[in-house]
Structure 1
């Protein structure tokens, strides 16, 4: 056991700590969080539009007219379809904060740069019309949503780095001390903003001369598809979950660190499912944000709700009984820090084994259940990760009971994995409470019998 601790402390933890402190990953994570309230609000309207009650659609049509669904889904488009735009602002804002720059100006410049990098739709052919109608540079909403998310991320970081480069070299216009701070900051951002816009403009002109035609096509081909395949595959998802659990085992927030990279992929998959769900089509993706938040991490990272229940009803030691009573409330809302740091699981070689094993097993079982059609795939509804079990599974599956049943099955699997390790740990704590020496009453594995 000491060898495992040494590996965790001396090999994994230093590397993981440096990754966790990387400012670009932190900005990516924190900037994407800015989109979540809007997506959740949009999901509420999406749920209202597709409540699985027989006769619900006819009832609503009788009261509000035949176009009730399209009107009800207006807020869905207004929230989901600006995901990339909000991310462009949020990521640049958070990255500028970490550099000590004017975050508001950096965010605004990033949005302008993202729009500049996006090809406008200059004409369209209305249904039934013979000729295309010219319009004044209409912004394609598809590229403002999940399809433009990768470009938004790259442009946000590039624009902020250019902004930082210019400001740190003092190539700015500084106003006298008597000028209000808001006015002074806007003038400081003038020259950096010009450099950002000019560079993105030149970049767009160059790309337009290639076969790709736009930055969105380049990112989609060279970055989006490979990452999408990685994030949308069973192997890639198992690797992501393994990294999350290993980081948590070292005391680092694995979900935030890995989510900074995988989050955009899973959000894009979620939005693709959302569009298919609205149109009544088959859902194309299994691995979305809700796949992990709702079906894998029942009780939080590590799926520790089963462990909390074991503590609550089967613990013999007072420490485990008390911890179970303290952790059950947060655990029902998928908050497991009391268990992770209170048991502890962090740097605990015995409990790390089920902590890593349980989520990996559930990724496999959940994938099998959804790929075979036994359970409905995530419907693209942004169910908050704090949603209690059973309710969360029902909503995430688009109002299908199979989603709730799958959560129950996953809970039982987790309980079976955690229970033997928990009993060994509980016996050790009970022996300590009874004053049994650490070199007495030990079983063959080095734990108290």
Structure 2
């Protein structure tokens, strides 16, 4: 059925419902995730494919991903006091993912963009973090007007009011960043310097007088918020789930560390060039994403005209939710569906780009995630660095015991599905300390 919707009837279901959250906080659906299917969406998609997520640009950011992964590993060492204190991983992983997104978007770390805005660096960094966090929260809340339009005025929990306030704050914050960058670009133009990052590319497209379609400032704001609210949150959640799976399955952890020790050794840190030689790492991430897809229902699709799905006649304006969580645990598709068993992917060429419908972490078809390649690069280097660097345990006592305490794998629903209880563990260094 997912294939019927996402491939056979891809064009029919390439539209998005107009949710209040997207209208109010994504500048009237001016971003890519919620934009209506049409010329502007196609232009933005093409811009992302050719200018932002192409192989050359992703390769140029390799040092950024490696640096942030090593920064996360170093933070674990410092906060955990060399393995003597417990470490809550979620803030560390989210900070690293946000920094990767921010450096890709704007060429600066999250804490450095404050130079473009008023107030102290710490205040502005916190402003952006709280803005993105509120955006994520409100994109996942239930608003009755989305499902019963004539009750749009009914807002008992104040969610619509919060959406409008967050949208105003996002517009003000992002506009100031864009205006400041335009001034910088004018100065660089005099020196005949080309675009340096994603924000430069988008502003150049917006200001190009010869463009067939003009990208608006709202489109730029929406694309940046998409990358922050979607990309960074899902990457950090994926790594947290995968590490929890490994802690609960020590045989898999030992096997992955042995692979890392054989390919990389203990005299240097893993790099992206090593990833292709770490097949078991890829198996583990596939298995973890099967059990814990970061967006379990995907973003909903909407039919633009009547069509046939299986034995059903589907009218126009029908919303379709694809339950990737259920597909990933379907016993008719997967052997031992509830077990964490990475070996099921050993020698299996199943890819994650939405061509095979048993596993759809990035969706499929026209509306599939355009940043899937960047997301995979992020989670591979992050997980490899953390697993290579530490022996992970739920308690200090269990490090020396054969019985390992189990991590609570309960879920908390949101824009991305996180662990209900943030992963808090002990990390004992397993490499020479000078490498961290």
* TM-score, normalized by the shorter chain, greater than 0.5: no
TM-score by length of 2: 0.27
TM-score by length of 1: 0.27
Report which of the two has the higher share of helix. Answer: 1
Question: Which structure exhibits the higher relative contact order, with contacts defined as CA atoms closer than 8 Å and separated by 6 or more residues?
Answer: 2
The structure with the larger Rg is: 1
